[in-house]
Chains A and B, each alone.
Chain A
Amino acid sequence: MARLEKGIILSHRQVAPEIYSLEFAAPALAREASPGQFLQVRTSPTYDPLLRRPISLFDAEAERGVVTLLYRVVGRGTSLLTELPVDGLVDVMGPLGRGFTLPERPEKVLLVGGGMGLAPLLFLGRMLKQGGSQVKILGGAADAQRLWAGNRFERLGISFSPVTVDGSAGRQGLVAELLADWPELDQVDRIYCCGPEAMMAAVSKIAREHNIWGELSLEEHMACGVGACLGCARLLQPGDTGYVKICKDGPVFNMSEVQLFKLD
């Protein structure tokens, strides 16, 4: 069940250029959330900016009753969000949307994240590890600072292979290039992917060529977040006659359902 909750902020800090981590107490939400779902976050109590911002769950720890969001400041809403003080309240709605499908038995899993697309993969990685899967992650970003989340994966025992555009950490280039050259690709059972659409398109192509089951997570501007306003509409395939709603039908889709053509 989704809920409207005001969580007490436990920590709120900048972790990389433009990137913030917001940790708050929300026991029921932490218990009910699953990886790949998102929250609709009120950025200020005023009416301008008006709408909530959809932010994916970076982590939801049921035992601690704590939820963590990782977000990037992209405009006025997220900029206002950075001002929320520790011990203050954050107004959230959720958990929302259809998250990642977890395997029924342990599998060999590869996570592929680009930029802020790394955020929803941490919670997923933790749940996969809990289920006994063997998990590795390929993470790409502009530079080493923006790969801050890498340590969090390592702490979970998930080996993190970095790629940066400027070469300041790991291989220089794009994460999809690292995936294409990945030596153990033929032993991989599933790939979960989140990041810029051009990157997800490249990853989906590699997964398809190697016959690997895969899921990816899409993003759209949203108003309601619950499937009521029909604002976050999108065609999954170029010739489709009906639109899916990212908030309710997604944000996670199977790679085979989606043909990414809105490249960014």
Chain B
Amino acid sequence: MESAKQDIMIDLAVDLGGIAMKNPVAVASGTFGYGKEYEDYLDISALGAVIVKGTTLEPRSGNPPPRIVETAAGMLNAIGLENPGVRAFAQEYLPYLVEKKVTVIANVAGNSLEDYAAMAAYLQGCSGIAGIELNISCPNVKKGGLQFGTDPHMVKEVVRAVKAETSLPVMPKLSPNVTDIVAIARAAEEGGADALSMINTLMGMAIDIRARRPVLANIFGGLSGPAIKPVALRMIYQVFPAVNIPILGGGGIMNSNDALEFIMAGASAISVGTGNFVDPQCAAEIAAGISDYMVAQGIGSLREIVGAAIQR
């Protein structure tokens, strides 16, 4: 092992279905704003990718508060996709990220197939976007969102509609709130998805026993954080052998050991979400930790261990 340690050339770069990432660590949509919010804490251009806050065709003011509540080793959120709309994103927030040479993945959410298609067409005309993540799994909006992500037919249709409008890599973000995640993943691949993002939050709730009512104004929210890691790992492990497109894995990743578990379950790259709130530098530290592991284990390319834990 000593000689391997010295001789090995580490290649951290990942091709995620056509999205060129400098390293396998992305930051998840909705947990990193538009990148600028975290510029004091780390070099955002050194991240594998920044997946920006979910964008809709028109501005949305989001859900009334309370929007968040902490739970055991996790948190629930029901932000309700507050965002300034896709045009304001492209005009006011994207230029900064382009100037900083950040690998930007846009995240879009729609109420209809037409919404998704229109946003894809609009983003096609914006330079500086490396790929599009389709939010078909937001549990916190009344129309659209989750309903697109729980029916395999709808998943296929929405991916197809977006692919028809853009040459950018398209990556649907799958909802864990389904019975058969493999069927959903296969449908996304059939629709033409270039990669899969797994997983979005798990729908949950919390109750205020003093007030005898739900804590969140939206009643239900999406559970994230270390509490959901075993669920995310299991789903990626199930999907990996069933598809031929790469997976961006995430769900409660807090450190490089967590990240390596995801990679061994079948993720080609990983995303850090709620972890950013706890340690705003953890994405950079995770990338460094993965690199250290590769050196120590004599692994030249991460591809060597993607899905390594799968028992055939």
> Are B79's CB and A229's CB within 8 A?
yes
* Least Cβ–Cβ distance between A223 and chain B, in angstroms: 5
> Are B73's CB and A230's CB within 8 A?
no
> Are A233's CB and B40's CB within 8 A?
no
List, sorted by A's number, 18 A–B pairs whose CB atoms are closer than 8 Å: A1-B40, A2-B40, A47-B225, A47-B278, A48-B72, A49-B70, A52-B278, A93-B41, A221-B69, A221-B70, A224-B31, A224-B37, A226-B38, A229-B277, A232-B65, A233-B63, A233-B64, A242-B61
Contacts of A234 in B (CB 8 A): 65
* Least Cβ–Cβ distance between B205 and chain A, in angstroms: 16
> Are A227's CB and B37's CB within 8 A?
yes
* Interface of B: prevailing SS: loop
> Quick one: which of A129-154 are within 8 Å of B by CB?
none
- Contact-residue bracket for chain B: 35 or more
Contacts of A231 in B (CB 8 A): 67-68, 77, 79
A50 CB-CB contact with B under 8 Å: yes
> Are B33's CB and A233's CB within 8 A?
no
Contacts of A223 in B (CB 8 A): 68, 75, 77, 274, 277
Contacts of B38 in A (CB 8 A): 226, 228
- CA of A58 to CA of B20, assembled, Å: 46
B157 CB-CB contact with A under 8 Å: no
> Are B82's CB and A228's CB within 8 A?
no
Contact mask for chain A residues 214-229; partner B; CB cutoff 8 A; 1 contact, 0 none:
0000001111111111
- CA of A224 to CA of B75, assembled, Å: 12
Contacts of A228 in B (CB 8 A): 31-33, 37-38, 53, 276-277
Contacts of A52 in B (CB 8 A): 277-278
Q: Pick the residue among A1, A3, A51, A241 that contacts B278 (CB under 8 A).
A: A51
> Are B274's CB and A50's CB within 8 A?
yes
B279 CB-CB contact with A under 8 Å: yes
Having A2-B41, A226-B38, one finds 10 other A-B pairs with CB under 8 Å, namely: A4-B280, A4-B281, A50-B225, A51-B278, A93-B41, A223-B274, A224-B31, A227-B37, A228-B277, A232-B65
A42 CB-CB contact with B under 8 Å: yes
A261 CB-CB contact with B under 8 Å: no
B254 CB-CB contact with A under 8 Å: yes
B300 CB-CB contact with A under 8 Å: no
Contacts of B66 in A (CB 8 A): 221
Q: A47-B226, A50-B278, A228-B37 are in contact. Are A243 and B82 (CB under 8 A)?
A: yes
